[in-house]
Structure 1
Amino acid sequence: MKFVYFASPMCSWCWGFSPVMQRLKASFPANNIRLVLTPFRIDTMQPMDDALRNYVLGQWHNVHKATGQPFDFSFAMPIDFIYNTRLVCLSIKAFSKQLPEQELDFLHTLQHAFYTENKDLANEEILIELTSNYAIDQTLFADDINNNEIADELESDFKLCQQLAIQSYPTLMAENDSSYAMLASGYTPYEELVVRIEASVTS
Structure 2
Amino acid sequence: MMGGLRPGTEEPMTAQSKAEIRNHWQHVHERSGQAFDFDFFERDGFVYDTDPAARAVVAVRAENPELELPFLERVQRAFYAENRDVTQAETLADLAEEMGLEREPFLMRLQSDAVRDATRLDYATSRNAGVQGFPTLVVGPNAEGTYTMLTHGYRGADELMPLVAKVLEAHGAAT
- Which residue among 184, 187, 190 is the counterpart of 2:154? 187
Q: Is the 8 A contact 2:135 2:154 kept in 1?
A: yes
Letter paired with 1:67? S
Normalised to the residue count of structure 2, the TM-score between the two structures is 0.89
Q: Is the 8 A contact 2:129 2:138 kept in 1?
A: no
Q: Distance in 2 between matches of 1:122 and 1:173?
A: 26
The yes-or-no answer on 1:48 pairing with 2:10 is: no
Q: Which residue of 1 aligns with 2:165?
A: 198
SS at structure 1 position matched to 2:108: helix
Specify which structure has the higher proportion of strand: 1
> Residue deviations 1:34-66, cap 9 Å, x none?
xx1112211211111211111111111111011
Q: What CA RMSD, in Å, does the superposition of the two structures yield over aligned residues?
A: 1.5
Q: Distance in 1 between matches of 2:109 and 2:42?
A: 26
SS at structure 2 position matched to 1:172: strand
> Residue deviations 1:100-129, cap 9 Å, x none?
101110011011111111111111111111
Unaligned 5+ runs, structure 1: 1-35
Equivalent pairs counted in the alignment come to 168
The yes-or-no answer on 1:57 pairing with 2:22 is: yes
Q: Distance in 2 between matches of 1:162 and 1:146?
A: 23
Normalised to the residue count of structure 1, the TM-score between the two structures is 0.77
Q: Which residue of 1 aligns with 2:173?
A: none
> Residue deviations 1:135-190, cap 9 Å, x none?
21211100111100111101111111222221131221222322433322221111
Mark the CA change 1:77 to 1:120 in structure 2 (over 3 Å): closer, same or farther. Answer: farther
The yes-or-no answer on 1:131 pairing with 2:96 is: yes
Q: Which residue of 2 aligns with 1:106?
A: 71
Letter paired with 2:166? A
Unaligned 5+ runs, structure 2: 171-175
Letter paired with 1:83? Y
Letter paired with 1:59? H
SS at structure 2 position matched to 1:75: helix
